[in-house]
Amino acid sequence: MYEFAVAPAVTQIRRRGVEITDVAPESLAADWDLEAGDRIIKVNGRVVRDYLDFRFQTGGETEIVFEVRKKSGEEWELDVERDEGEDFGLGFEQIVPRQCANECIFCFCKGNPETARPSLFIRDEDIRLSFLNGNYTTLTSITEDEMSRIIEQRLSPQYVSVHATDLDVRARLLGVDRQRADISGKVKRMLGAGIEIHAQVVLCPEINDGEILERTIRDLAALHPQVKSVAIVPLGLTRYNTDERLTPVTPEFCRRTISEVIPLQREFRKTLGTTFAFLGDEIYLRAGKGIPTRRHYGDYPQIEDGIGMVRSFDNDFQKLLRRLERNPPKNPARLHGTMMTGMLFAPVLKKLVENLNARTGTRLHVLGVENRYFGGDVSVAGLLTAECYTAARELVRGKFVIIPGSSLKSGEAVMLDGTTLNDFERQINLPIYALDFASFARMLEKQMPDAGC
């Protein structure tokens, strides 16, 4: 049993080894009298820095020597055996992210209000989290130790924020000098060692668009297949972004970008066998254009970066409709409530839900919610707060409210502004369900007893 989560803050003092946070009952670790609070310092004589080191150094090993510092301060040496692949039953402390040293002019942290959760101000630049979670790094300050670790431990793929292959443009975007902006040698070293890369471009109008964007895409495509894909996502500005170097993204800009990238996508599908350069869903929605087909996205290599989420949602919704037609809700009229979401996705969701209502008899309503917390052009559901939802309370219809699960902090019923789900429910004075798609489908198919009562 391995457990991993991203640390909510970076104020922890780095200590030797990795701390055990959980020991499963009747596990190997329990038999060895390991406890929460103990620290594993070394495995087979090699220092353990974090959970990844532990996994790498124990992988495939059946005879292991652990150096352990008990929470009492005692030093233990355990000479243990296990069957191949047998689980230890250990959970470990969260990884403390390495911090970014850049001064990116578009950094979203600069667009946060002062009251935002502390975790929103963490600018991580961590190759471990890139491998584990798909977090992007710029590689501008990667150390030799980190580079060696990527290669030795096969931390592949890595997700790299390239933004522009023109060094002057990249340096300008990252707020670094030209020398630091040049990561070509680091990228070649990774690729030469068999490490795969997914790249990202945060598209900033009048800076890295047009010819600069085409050059960036072509430079990266020349490194395919080890550079697997490039995600092109639009700059997002809140009311707190005041940098005069940044130009807001407009619908016309999105339409122009689509028209410029489509020929490249067609070319790559012929020459590389993949679309390779993927535009963020937000670009299509802002442009008022249809989302590409399922085939366009292949195996959805960058879905966590907002690439193909709408298409995937639409496909899943159509499958749900077919299941509901075969086994319709028993009391569909009781499913009378409001689904609140961001302004950008609301028109898409509204069409799908209207179809659902017509085919099953449910009474669900979609309400697009303006982002009052961040302001600017922020319109995605995951950045809505209790303040945003509460401001739209008078437009709510029905006996319950559904909000996107992405509005809550992962693993906690807390919103971006620090409001708990229970407090928010009291403000709305209706039952609130924070659901991902799978949970929403279960609500419809099983008709939860309290949904709409």
pLDDT in tens, 271-317: 999 999 999 999 999 999 999 999 999 999 999 888 999 999 999 99
CA dihedral 250, 253, 254, 260 (to 10 degrees): 180
Count of positions (residues) in the chain: 453
Retrieve residue 36's tokens.
């929460």
pLDDT above 90: residue 363: yes
pTM: 0.86
User: Tokens 């219809």, residue?
Assistant: 397
- Distance separating alpha carbons of residues 404 and 19, to the nearest angstrom: 34
pLDDT in tens, 6-26: 333 333 334 689 999 999 999
Task: Tell me what the mean pLDDT of segment 175-197 comes to.
Answer: 96
Percentage with pLDDT > 70 across the chain: 93
Highest mean pLDDT among 119-128, 239-248, 329-338, 363-372 belongs to 363-372
Q: Which residues contact 242 (CB under 8 A, 6 or more apart)?
A: none
Judge contact between 232 and 279, C-beta under 8 A: yes
Q: Quick one: how far is CA 92 from the chain centroid?
A: 21
Confidence label for 198 from pLDDT (cuts 50, 70 and 90): very high
Residues 353-357: contacts with CB under 8 Å, at least 24 apart? 355/321, 356/317, 356/321, 356/324, 356/444
pLDDT in tens, 207-256: 999 999 999 999 999 999 999 999 999 998 888 888 889 999 999 999 99
How much is the pLDDT for 2? 35
According to DSSP, the β-strands at 39-43 and 18-23 are antiparallel
pLDDT in tens, 387-399: 999 999 999 999 9
